[in-house]
Structure 1
C-alpha cells in the first residue's frame, strides 16, 4: 500500500484569477513569495510554497485582517473548486459544513473538526504541517470562508458567537465588525463558534441535481485517496498534530481515524509496525525538525513532541542519535534545515 503525500496541495484553476480580480497580479505574488513564475501554471505546490504564496498576498494586501475580509467578501463562488462548490449547494448550513469538513481531506494543509455542544457549534482548524508556521491571513481567511458560506447559502447576514485565533491577526476591530462578535487572539487555537440553531437554516442555493453529479465523483476521489494512505502514515500525521497537547494514546488516535482501538492495532500489525514504534518514529522525526530551528529552546522542543519531563527527552534522544540534543544541533542543524523538499517528505511521511 502506497503512502499518500500530504505535502502536495492542489491550486484551483480560479485561484489566481480570483486574486487578479482583487487587483493583484499573479506574477507580483509569485515574485514576492520568492517563487519562479512557473508556479502560476503548476497544478500543485508543496506546503512551503503554498504558505509563501499566502504570505506574499498578505504582505501585498497590507493589514492581515483587512486583506482577509476583502478576499472573503469579494471572491466569487464560481471560482471555487468542486470540493468547495458542492458545499454551496448543500441542503442547509449544517450539511454544508459537514461536507466541507469531509472534503477538506482532499485539500491539505488544514483539518477541520465540528463539535455541536448545547446551543453552540465549534469549528476548529488544525494545521497538518506542524513544522511550518501557517501565515495568519490563511488561518483567518479559512474561518471567514466558513461564515461566508453560511451567509451566501442562507441569504442572511449570520454572525458568529466567538472567534479565536492562536496568533495576532491585525485590526481586531475590523474582524469583530466582520464576524459580528468578540474576536480573541493568542487564544491557543483557531476556532469559529456559531449559534447552533443557525445550522438548521436551509440554503437558498440548494441544488439537488448538481449534488447528484458532484457528490459521487468527490466520494470516489476521497475513497481513492484514503485507500492509498497507509494507516501507519495517517497515525504518524495525527501524532505530529497532537504532540503539543501531550503524548497521544491509542484511543484518541483511533477515534480520529474513525475506528476502534483493536481495529487500529490490527491494521498496524498488518503493516508490520505498532503504535509505540510509530510514536517513537514521529517523536524522533519531529525532534530533528524542531532542533533545526535555532529559535527554539531545547526545553521547548521536548514539550513540542509531547515530553513533560525534559530529562526524559534527553534520554530518548541519546537512544535515537547517540548524542545530546545540544551536540546534535551544533553538528547537524544547519545542514538539516537546508534539506530539499524531497528529503523533508521522506523524513515526515513514510
Structure 2
C-alpha cells in the first residue's frame, strides 16, 4: 500500500512567517496555523487547505507560493536542517535529504542522479498528492537554501513541475528560478551543474549559522579545548552521528590518523572514546530537546541511536530523568540546563 504523505508542523510555520512579511492580519488563518504548528504530522490535505487560504489573501499576486517558500529557515525543516549542517558539501546534504526524507513527508520519494555535467533531484508523479502550490513552495525553499550556501551561485539548469499555472504565473516562476521551467512533466525536477555537489557547506544563512553555533557550544562543553584537532573532531562527530556510525575507528579514519593516536589525544583530556561520545551526546541532547521542531525520534536519530528507546535509556543514565520530562522543564532554545 502506498505511503500516506504528510508534512511536519514546523513546515506549516512558513505561512505565519509569510503573513508577517506581508503585513497580513489573517486571524483565522493564523489560528489554524498555530493549531497545526505544534503537531509532528500534518496531513497533506490540511497543508493544501492552509496554503489555499493564504493564497486567497493576495489575489493580485500570480505565484505567492514562491514567496512563501523563499522564507524557509532551518526551523521549518526540523531534523533536516541539522543534518544539512552535519554535511561537508552540498552533495552530502542532498544525499542526507534523500536518506531522511521520510521524516518530513512520511515517505521516501526523491531520486538523485548525475548525468554528464548535471545533477538532478526529482520526485515522481506517482504518490505525489501535494499539488502545484505545495510543490512550488517546496522547490522555492530548496533553491533558496542552495543559493544561501554559495557565493554568486549560478541558477539551476532547469526546473520541472507536474502541473501547470497561468501564463502570467509561468513568467513569475522563470523570473524567480532564473532558468527554464517545464510544465506537465512526469516528475518534479531540479537540475543544476554537477559542480554544485562539491561545494562546501558555508552556512551563510544566519539561522543555519545559529544552529551550527549551538551545536559547537554543546560540543565545547563536552571537550573544552580550542585546538584545531578538537574542532575537527567535533565536526567529524556530527557527521558520524547523522550516519549512525559514531565509532572510534571511523572517527580516526575521517581525521587521517590511527585509532591509537586519537585515543591518546582524548586521554590527554582524561577521557576514553566512549566517555567523550556519551558526554557529547548528552550535551547535544540537551540542546536538541529545546528545539520544538524536533520530535524525540528526531533527536534520537541526530544522536546516532537506532531506536528512540535506546536514546531514552541513555538519557536517563546521563541525567537521571527522561527526555520528555527534561523537555518540559526548559524553555525552548535557551541555554542548556544540563
TM range (shorter): 0.5 to 0.7
Alpha carbons of 1:125 and 1:64: their partners in 2 closer, same or farther (altered >3 Å)?
farther
> CA separation in 1, counterparts of 2:150 and 2:125?
28
- Match of 1:49, SS? helix
> CA separation in 1, counterparts of 2:77 and 2:156?
23
- Are positions 1:108 and 2:105 aligned together? yes
CA contact (8 A) 1:105 1:222 kept: no
The equivalent position to 1:91 in structure 2, one of 88, 96, 106, is 88
> CA separation in 1, counterparts of 2:25 and 2:125?
28
User: Which consecutive residues of structure 1, in runs of 5 or more, have no partner in the other structure?
Assistant: 226-350
> CA separation in 1, counterparts of 2:73 and 2:84?
14
Using the TM superposition, give the Cα deviation of residue 164 of structure 1 relative to its aligned residue in structure 2, in angstroms.
1.0
The equivalent position to 1:11 in structure 2, one of 9, 12, 15, is 9
Alpha carbons of 1:77 and 1:47: their partners in 2 closer, same or farther (altered >3 Å)?
closer
CA contact (8 A) 2:114 2:194 kept: yes
What is the number of residues matched between the two proteins?
Answer: 218
- Are positions 1:82 and 2:165 aligned together? no
Using the TM superposition, give the Cα deviation of residue 30 of structure 1 relative to its aligned residue in structure 2, in angstroms.
6.7
> CA separation in 2, counterparts of 1:76 and 1:116?
27
Partner of 2:122: 124
Partner of 1:193: 191
Partner of 1:154: 150
Partner of 1:181: 179
Using the TM superposition, give the Cα deviation of residue 57 of structure 1 relative to its aligned residue in structure 2, in angstroms.
2.7
Using the TM superposition, give the Cα deviation of residue 183 of structure 1 relative to its aligned residue in structure 2, in angstroms.
0.7
User: Which consecutive residues of structure 2, in runs of 5 or more, have no partner in the other structure?
Assistant: 204-208, 213-231, 245-299, 309-338
Using the TM superposition, give the Cα deviation of residue 79 of structure 1 relative to its aligned residue in structure 2, in angstroms.
4.5
The equivalent position to 1:169 in structure 2, one of 144, 154, 165, is 165
Let me know the Cα RMSD of the aligned residues.
3.6
> CA separation in 2, counterparts of 1:185 and 1:17?
29
> CA separation in 2, counterparts of 1:179 and 1:115?
20
Deviations 1:186-217 (A, max 9, x none): 22321111111122111212857478457254
- Match of 2:201, SS? coil
CA contact (8 A) 1:9 1:46 kept: yes
Normalised by the size of structure 1, how large is the TM-score? Answer: 0.52
Using the TM superposition, give the Cα deviation of residue 224 of structure 1 relative to its aligned residue in structure 2, in angstroms.
4.7
Alpha carbons of 1:178 and 1:15: their partners in 2 closer, same or farther (altered >3 Å)?
closer
Partner of 1:218: 301
CA contact (8 A) 2:7 2:41 kept: yes
Normalised by the size of structure 2, how large is the TM-score? Answer: 0.53
> CA separation in 1, counterparts of 2:2 and 2:186?
29
Alpha carbons of 1:58 and 1:69: their partners in 2 closer, same or farther (altered >3 Å)?
same
Using the TM superposition, give the Cα deviation of residue 174 of structure 1 relative to its aligned residue in structure 2, in angstroms.
1.9
User: Residues 289-304 of structure 1 correspond to what in structure 2 (within 5 A)?
Assistant: none
Partner of 1:60: 57
- Match of 2:113, SS? strand
CA contact (8 A) 2:72 2:141 kept: no
Using the TM superposition, give the Cα deviation of residue 219 of structure 1 relative to its aligned residue in structure 2, in angstroms.
5.5
